[in-house]
Amino acid sequence: MGNDMIWAITGIVLIFIEFFIPGLVIIFFGAGALLTALFTYFIGDIFSLPLQLLTFTLTSILLLVLLRRYMKKIFTGKMAIESGSENFNIEIGRFVPVVEYIQHGEIGGKVKYQGTIWSAKSEKSIPPGESVEIIGSENLTLIVKKIKKEDS
């Protein structure tokens, strides 16, 4: 087995490893190994091991520097961040029941939203059993307001 085959196998293995260790870095070293395999195959015996290692290093780093930012945008896409609900799709305007007393201005009260108990805070104190409207969120805490009697 020639050096070109060793570089090709190394490149394929490195690209395959990227699927298990994501970060979009290892794939560029795999591509560098594949390019080194091509150079070794076409140039042949005059392409010595030190030149192969230099080619591998330079092509890998060049690909990494030039393409990583562009490729990362393609693979990760754009993330929309909406007013404090970075990780959750909170339904603003949804009515939910209070399950634990919500103290005015303090975190610690609880509401039931989508089958899960969430921390809640409000500008007014709200006892359990009342319904509230979700008006926003801060991290894992829902911001709610008491529903007026004519709304329910």
- At 10 the pLDDT is 95
Q: Is it the case that residue 82 has pLDDT exceeding 50?
A: no
Q: pLDDT tens digits for 110-151? A: 999 988 899 999 998 999 999 999 998 887 888 999 887 654
Q: Give the Cα-Cα-Cα angle 88, 90, 95 (nearest 5 degrees).
A: 150
Higher-pLDDT residue of 46, 143 = 143
d(CA 118, CA 36): 55
d(CA 12, CA 36): 12
Domain segments of the chain: what residues? 3-76, 95-146
Beta bridge partners of 117: 112
- At 90 the pLDDT is 83
CATH number of 95-146: 2.40.50.140
| Average pLDDT score over residue span 3-32 | 90
Beta bridge partners of 132: 96, 146
Q: Is it the case that residue 105 has pLDDT exceeding 80?
A: no
For the chain, first and last CA: distance in Å? 78
Looking at the chain, the whole-number percentage of residues with pLDDT higher than 70 is 88
